[in-house]
Structure 1
Amino acid sequence: MPTRHRLAYWRAALSQTFAPVAIDIPDEVCSGTIRTSRLGHLRVATVDGDPMSARRTPQLIAQDEEEHLVVKLLVRGVAGVLQDAREAHLHPGQIVFCDTARPLRMEFPQPFQTKSLVVPRRLLGLEESDLRRLTATPLHPDTTAGSLLAPFLTQLVDTAATYPSATGEALARHVVDLLTVLIEERLHQQAGDAPSAARLLLARIQVFIDRHLADPDLTPEAIARAHQISVRYLHKLFQTENVTVSRWIQRRRLQECRRDLARRQAAGRTIAAVARQWGFTSPAHFSRVFRDVYGMSPVEWRDSAARAPRVAGVPAP
């Protein structure tokens, strides 16, 4: 590619393989290769590149209908990954989980190679809180999960293109099952001695909350009653999330409102209508808490998302 076209071409190629990204590359960067294949509902990729950095911004995230978890193995070079207020420094053989649904930054200060598995989040059935505990936390090759996943991921990425369609779909189901087991084991280790029954109950309650976000009468009392537990015990369960039940509900409502406001097809709806859809009864209260959390008003957020350019080569959702 001519020098003047390299940045846009490389950005489009990365965006089509993983998710829309903004990238920075030095002027002297001249080479990069992506080899990618489908495996059922999954996608695998090997990326060889020169020094670069890539960012997932809120504006780019708002363009996506599908959310993915990327399992990335660093084969060569070094890398820095920043997500969910954590920063990981990767060396060859280490694996990191990246969630495309939240802001992300990756830095490759020298030539590198990665092998990646791109999995739709919905196939894993993980809660938002679990995903936040996974990201930007390196999986080392000397751990049980790392010693299993690194060679398996390498073989899977290198051979995915050779399987017939039916074999690939069957293999993809087994890959998701294996990945779910390894992730649950990792989360269990991070949780320490937390009782498994309490974790399962908390997960069920969080799913219940997501299903009833639009209900303005969704309160801790109503949630406790629906699960036949006391309000006091409900609050104790959420202590592991370092947030109150009411704040959890508000945060999830704000996340859904923010996503809706950034979608171009929702441009004709009023701010109050979007807020009301997700359980906010007072437009003034919604605007105030939105600004407190995101640092701008709902109108400013929608306007900034509307001005964000599409990524070249990536179809509009």
Structure 2
Amino acid sequence: MVTVLDTADIAPGDRAEAMYSAMISASAPCFLMQEESGAGIRARMDVWPMRTMQVFSTESTGIRLVRTARQARQDDAAPLIAFAVQTASRGRQSHLGHQRLVPRGHLLMMDHSAPYDYAWSGDGASRCIQVPLDQLTLPVDVVRSALPHLTASPLYPMVTDHIAHLTGGIEDLLRDPASAGIEEITIGLARALIASAVRQDHHTRTALAETRLTRIRAYVRRHLTEPDLRPARIAAAHHISERHLYKLCAQAGFSLNRWIIEQRLDGAREELARPAGDGRTIAAVARRWGFSDPTHFSHRFKEAYGMSPRDWRAAARERSGPPEGAGLSGP
């Protein structure tokens, strides 16, 4: 996490300028108007840059952000699509010819390649993800046409809840090796939300199919460390048959069972390399990642990575140095 702004540490006379600088660095060039002035301005912004998207949160006294057509036209940065959950106060959005009041707990979308006007009064807050347009793999006209119809999508509550939980617990997610792939999951859900909102047959069918598989992948990743994670349980959790589950995976070009093992091995490998995990035996790490037989785990690990779990841990320890007071651990 990078805290790009905390007005508690800034002199009252400098807060307006500091907030303006933080806002355009985290989002996009725009005009910022403050409801308060001087010591009355209170704000905090935190940013989590990720590989394919960015997460940030804003809490502040009343603000208004205006991005003009000229600013949008002159911005040579890659086009971004923002998805923000209003977590305090009520937002007001004017964008692409549409006006909307955004109640607390609701989601809004913003295309940064077009002008917009967004504001809240009093103590407000939002949590946001920014996704490059090319990651959504949807034409910009499809994205823009979805704007006034987001709340009508059957996926709107689920995507809103996902983004709220993601942005609210991002620190824990980034520390947890079981959360690998969260960006892929989030972008897949955003894509499906847009496609289902516009209800264009080709994009909708494709995106909704991807969404079901995305939800399955997300479910598997959440439960990777549970030994009873099997296809029958996964299918039942998504109200489909095992046969249909295997068909979805085959259409996507991967083996479900092999993928689960690969994800578990990746999680175990990352945990074994962490200094904080030095206190766990290799057998304990194997059990945590769903391998009840340490010998089977060691065989699978060596087959996948060309060395045993013990050798991998030793090599990782040499690279980073052992933590102070750490003892040796074995299988």
TM above 0.5, one fold?
Answer: yes
Deviation at 1:158, TM superposition (A): 2.3
Shift of 1:168: 6.8
2:45, 2:57 within 8 Å by CA — same for their partners in 1?
yes
Find the counterpart in structure 1 of residue 126 from structure 2.
114
Q: CA deviation at 1:123?
A: 0.6
* Runs of 4+ with >6 A deviation: 165-169
Partner Cα separation in structure 2 for residue 16 and residue 166 of structure 1: 29
Contact 1:39 1:160 in 2 (8 A): no
Cα distance, 1:13 vs structure 2: 0.9
Hey, what does 2:57 align to over in structure 1?
46
Look up the SS of the partner of 1:19 in the other structure. Answer: coil
Residue 170 (structure 1) shift: 2.5
> Quick check: 2:89–2:103 contact (8 Å CA) kept in 1?
yes
Percent identity of equivalent pairs: 10
2:75 is the alignment partner of 1:66: no
Counterpart-to-counterpart distance in 2, 1:184 and 1:198: 6
How far apart are 1:198 and its partner, in Å? 11
| Greater displacement, 117-126 / 35-44 | 35-44
The alignment covers a number of residue pairs equal to 192
Q: Are 1:178 and 2:177 counterparts?
A: no
Q: Is the 8 A contact 1:88 1:137 kept in 2?
A: no
Equivalent position of 2:66 in the other structure: 55
Deviations 1:6-30 (A, max 9, x none): 2221011111111122100134332
In structure 1, the residue matched to 2:258 is: none
Aligned residue runs from structure 1 range 121-200, under 5 A: 121-135=133-147, 139=151, 144-162=154-172, 163=174, 170-188=181-199, 196=201
Q: Deviations over 1:138-171 (max 9, x none)?
A: 637xx63222112211221123234159877722
TM-score of the superposed pair, with normalisation by structure 1: 0.55
Alpha-carbon spacing, 1:198–1:164, altered in 2? closer, same or farther (3 Å): closer
Pick closer, same or farther for the CA change 1:59–1:6 going to 2, 3 Å: farther
Query: CA, structure 1 residues 198+128, in 2 after alignment: closer, same or farther (shift >3 Å)?
Result: closer
- Worse overlay, 57-66 or 92-101: 57-66
Looking at structure 1, the residues matched to 97 and 88 of structure 2 have their Cα atoms a distance apart, in angstroms, of 25
Would the alpha carbon gap of residues 23 and 167 (structure 1) be closer, same or farther in structure 2, given more than 3 Å must change?
A: farther
Aligned partners of 1:87 and 1:95: how far apart in 2?
14
How far residue 115 of structure 1 moved from its aligned partner, in angstroms, is 1.0
Which structure's CA Rg is the greater one?
Answer: 2
Mean CA deviation greater in 29-38 or 44-53: 29-38
Distance 2:149 2:43 in 1: 26
Q: What is the alpha-carbon root mean square deviation over aligned residues?
A: 2.5
- Cα offset, 1:197, TM superposition: 5.7
Q: Is the contact between residue 82 and residue 105 of structure 1 (CA under 8 Å) also seen in structure 2?
A: yes
Deviation of 1:199 (Å): 9.4
- Give the match for residue 90 of structure 2: 78
Inter-partner Cα distance in structure 2 for 1:198 and 1:182: 11
Higher relative contact order (CA 8 A, sep 6+): 1
Deviation of 1:134 (Å): 2.5
